[in-house]
Amino acid sequence: MSERVLVIIPAYNEAETIQEVVESIYALEGEYDVLVVNDGSSDETGTVVKGLDRAHLIELPYNLGIGSTMQTGFKYALRSGYGFAVQCDGDGQHPVDAIPALVERVQKGDADLVIGSRYVADTSYQPSFSRRVGKSLLSRLVDALIGGGITDTTSGFRCMNRKVLAVFAERYPEDYPEPESLVLLHRWGLRVVEIPVEMRPRQGGRSSISPRHAAYYMVKVALAIFVDMFRKFTQTTGDHS
Amino acid sequence: MIDGAAMPMGISPSHRIAFAVLGLVTVAIILELVRRDRLKERYALLWMGIAAGALVVGVFPEIIVKLSLLLRFQMITAMFVFSFLLTMAIILAFSVVISRLCEQNRKLTQEVALLAHTVKKLESSQ
């Protein structure tokens, strides 16, 4: 199996920060390919990435939303034969220097997906109140469903192997995908672990979640997870390129 | 008990003819839309079924009367309830159709983006 690692960055109007994020990934020790999936940005995100030397760029013709954007990246990673994929935001919040630790944990082979978690001891991350309430309720629900051990179910800073890529390429929730995706993996019998990472405040742009959205987010994800419990999953090969 | 439902009051032969004509016109409009490729056969069948239902009920309003007796509704209430349920069923069917289209659209968009990337790579390697 290929040991190549692809870092997938979903980008929606991240022109201010994307270059720094991509370059800091290339500055890491070890070989990482970078794919930016531009989700129909209205700013210069696409142009900025085109100007970067080695970065792969996939441009969605219009704004599809975070879930479908990530799934495009998963499909690309799977079809291009990458052994591992890392999911990392383009706004500079995710600590790029923690990527090797995430990858190493998956490569060890006792986990299929590793979450870079904000809540595991020793991180000073302080999210807003509404976000904290919504996320903790949701996290508890998801954590209970998948048998415990995960505190940060909404983190979008994760590393996964090809088994996970195959599942996600086939089925990935459309918006606020992370918690539901963990339940999906659990249903497939794949193993999820988390390790602590230190999150940084975003370097630019704006958060996609407002307090009003937080309520919708809770209900929508809870419903999706509830329905998933009654859904039959059929085995697919995943690789169909 | 309410006995207003007992008799098909106020349904005259001219009413029946009017309902029958309405049903037939609906069928004609649907067929014309299909002929002009403005309506898919799949959805045309749904509307044909509804038009046929309206036609049957229009010509034989006794059906509604019997139903309203059975349910102990007033006739007007029964008609309202049935048309409401029917409308909701159609809207639900359309939501299902829209959801399927969304899913197909999402897959298509992803494939287009992936293919565009492959094409660019091939072009630059030539």
Q: Which is more confident, A152 or A22? A: A22
CA A169 from centroid of its chain's CA atoms: 13
Evaluate if residue A208 carries a pLDDT over 80: no
Structure confidence by residue, pLDDT tens digits, A80-96:
999 999 999 999 889 99
pLDDT of amino acid A213: 75
pLDDT of amino acid A140: 78
Structure confidence by residue, pLDDT tens digits, B15-24:
788 888 888 8
Evaluate if residue A138 carries a pLDDT over 80: no
Task: Give the nearest partner residue to B112 out of A61, A68, A75, using CB atoms.
Answer: A61
Across residues A167-172, what is the average pLDDT?
Answer: 95
The pLDDT > 90 percentage for chain A reads: 56
pLDDT of amino acid B5: 44
CA–CA separation, A105 and A180 (whole Å): 22
- B100 in A contact zone (CB under 8 Å): no
Q: How many Cβ atoms sit within 10 Å of the Cβ of residue B56?
A: 14
Indicate the pTM of the whole model: 0.81
Evaluate if residue A147 carries a pLDDT over 60: yes
Estimate the crossing angle of helix A211-228 against helix A177-187, to 10 degrees: 20
Across residues A59-83, what is the average pLDDT?
Answer: 96
Going by C-alpha positions, the residue among A186, A190, A184 that lies closest to residue A228 is A184
**For residue A122, what pLDDT band results from cuts at 50, 70 and 90?**
very low
The pLDDT > 70 percentage for chain A reads: 83
Cross-strand bridge partners of residue A9: A36
Residues 26-45 on B with a CB inside 8 Å of A are none
CB A67 within 8 A of CB A177: yes
- B107 in A contact zone (CB under 8 Å): no
- Among B110, B115, B120, B121, the strongest candidate for a mutation testing the A interface, having the largest count of A CBs within 10 A, is B110
Inter-chain contact B114–A72, Cβ cutoff 8 Å?
A: yes
Going by C-alpha positions, the residue among A207, A193, A111, A117 that lies closest to residue A154 is A117
Lowest-confidence pick of A83-92, A222-231, B102-111: A222-231
Inter-chain contact A71–B116, Cβ cutoff 8 Å?
A: no
Lowest-confidence pick of A66-70, A136-140, A180-184: A136-140
Mean pLDDT score of chain B = 84
Q: Which is more confident, B74 or A60? A: A60
Q: Among the ranges A64-73, A229-238, B27-36, B82-91, which has the highest mean pLDDT value?
A: A64-73
Structure confidence by residue, pLDDT tens digits, B48-95:
888 888 788 778 878 878 888 888 888 788 888 888 998 998 899 899
CA–CA separation, A74 and A216 (whole Å): 26
**For residue A219, what pLDDT band results from cuts at 50, 70 and 90?**
confident
CA–CA separation, B70 and A11 (whole Å): 61
